[in-house]
Amino acid sequence: MTKIPSLDLRRGGAELDEELVAAFRRVLESGRYVLGPEVEGFEAECAAYVGTKHAIGVSSGTDALLVALMALDVGPGDEVICPTYTFFATAGAIWRLGATPVFVDSRPRCFAFDPEAVAMRITKETKAIVAVHLFGQCAAMDRLRAVAGEVPVVEDAAQALGASWQGSRAGAMGALGCFSFFPSKNLGGFGDGGLVTTDDDALAARVRRLRVHGAEPKYFHAEVGGNFRLDALQAALLRVKLPRLDEAVRRRRAHARAYTEAFVERGVGAVAGGATCSPRCAGRGTAQEARVLLPPACDPGHTYNQYVVRIPGRRDAVREALAERGIGSAVYYPRPLHLQECFASLGHAPGDFPVAERLAEESLALPIFPELTAEERARVVDAVSEAVS
């Protein structure tokens, strides 16, 4: 039986090859390989897409977070609130600046961190809050901004280019938005790349300066930055893909809708009701009997960078059963950040954030790349349903 990978970056690529090769040739012949007109053109297109005044191309999503926090003057003695259930870079960027990541737990249904828990962790040391738009769904930004008050909110939108919350685009709702063009993200590049968005002129100027070692003008350094520059080649290739992003997101949404329908119909899955972050976030099916807990769309702006289900008690067995049938899956994330060895000095112990710890044991990401076929999707549903029955 043919394999179904959890992600296939080459599929559907052939139709773009000609344009990508042309973009490559354009950069090759320009003799301009770092920043320059290709990056500026890409930045203008991204700013228009996200709906912010500024978009600044950087070297990766990780560096986008780092430079955004640097622009907010985050440093030793500061606390920065972030979820414990997220990709490592969210907290890694905070730690590298000498600040303390203050973790908060997640909501069990939608995996997003809980704005009410954020409210309880704000102190006079809180310098920023990093909201993660996990798996392509925005955090509850309306509620978060309300609890944050004067504290700036940085959006870690690495997984959520194209997403929106109550009609506002990811990256346009906080003080700064941070994106990644790692190949598996909604807009995947051909190597590493990232972007910082903001409406604030002063923050934008600061990010641009920090991107080139804090130099302004060149060779004169008012502060220490880094090499956070984006390659011209990466920008040129991403400019070919950006106009196709909405169509790719549309396909992701269609896959998610079809997965949810199919699991509910077969009586194995349900979208749990209960505490909601949005009035739209209604349950589906009977959660009590469900063996597969399906991800809710708390807002139609969800982009499903991942379709992550929860399988209490037998996630690993299901993952193995899928692998036996040649179906790829992934665990995001097997260990929450408060239990990572590198953060041991923060003194956390198992049980500190029970929801995140449970999600780490139960979550499984099913294949949902845009080019997945309906037949493949049906095979995934069959395999999961049989494995849990």
Q: How far is the CB of 307 from ligand PLP (least distance, A)?
A: 15
Tell whether residue 132 is a contact of ligand PLP (CB under 6 A): yes
**CA–CA distance, 20 with 43 (Å, rounded to integer):** 18
3-class DSSP assignment, residue 299: coil
State the angle between helix axes of 61-71 and 89-96 in degrees (0 to 180), rounded to the nearest 10.
Answer: 40
The one segment of 16-24, 156-164, 232-240, 372-380 that binds ligand PLP by CB under 6 A: 156-164
Report how far apart, in Å, the C-alpha atoms of 228 and of each of 56, 59, 129 are.
10, 5, 22
3-class DSSP assignment, residue 37: helix
Q: How far is the CB of 303 from ligand PLP (least distance, A)?
A: 12
Q: Is the peptide bond before 217 cis (omega within 30 degrees of 0)?
A: yes
Tell whether residue 363 is a contact of ligand PLP (CB under 6 A): no
Binding pattern to ligand PLP, positions 31-60, x when CB under 6 A? -----------------------------x
The one segment of 155-163, 166-174, 202-210, 213-221 that binds ligand PLP by CB under 6 A: 155-163
Considering only CA atoms, give the Rg of the chain: 21
**CA–CA distance, 343 with 11 (Å, rounded to integer):** 39
* Minimum CB distance to ligand PLP smaller for 192 or for 376: 192
Q: How far is the CB of 49 from ligand PLP (least distance, A)?
A: 18
* Minimum CB distance to ligand PLP smaller for 103 or for 263: 103
Q: How far is the CB of 296 from ligand PLP (least distance, A)?
A: 19
Tell whether residue 89 is a contact of ligand PLP (CB under 6 A): yes
Do residues 23 and 239 make contact, with C-beta atoms less than 8 angstroms apart?
yes
| Contact pick of 86, 137, 303, 306 for ligand PLP (by CB under 6 A) | 86
Residue with smallest beta-carbon separation from ligand PLP: 61
* Minimum CB distance to ligand PLP smaller for 61 or for 108: 61
Residues 6+ apart with CB under 8 A from 108: 272, 355, 358, 359
Other beta carbons within 10 Å of 331: 16
The one segment of 1-9, 108-116, 152-160, 347-355 that binds ligand PLP by CB under 6 A: 152-160
| H or E element that contains 359 | helix 354-362
Instruction: State residue 41 phi and psi, 5-degree precision.
Output: -65, -45
Q: How far is the CB of 180 from ligand PLP (least distance, A)?
A: 3
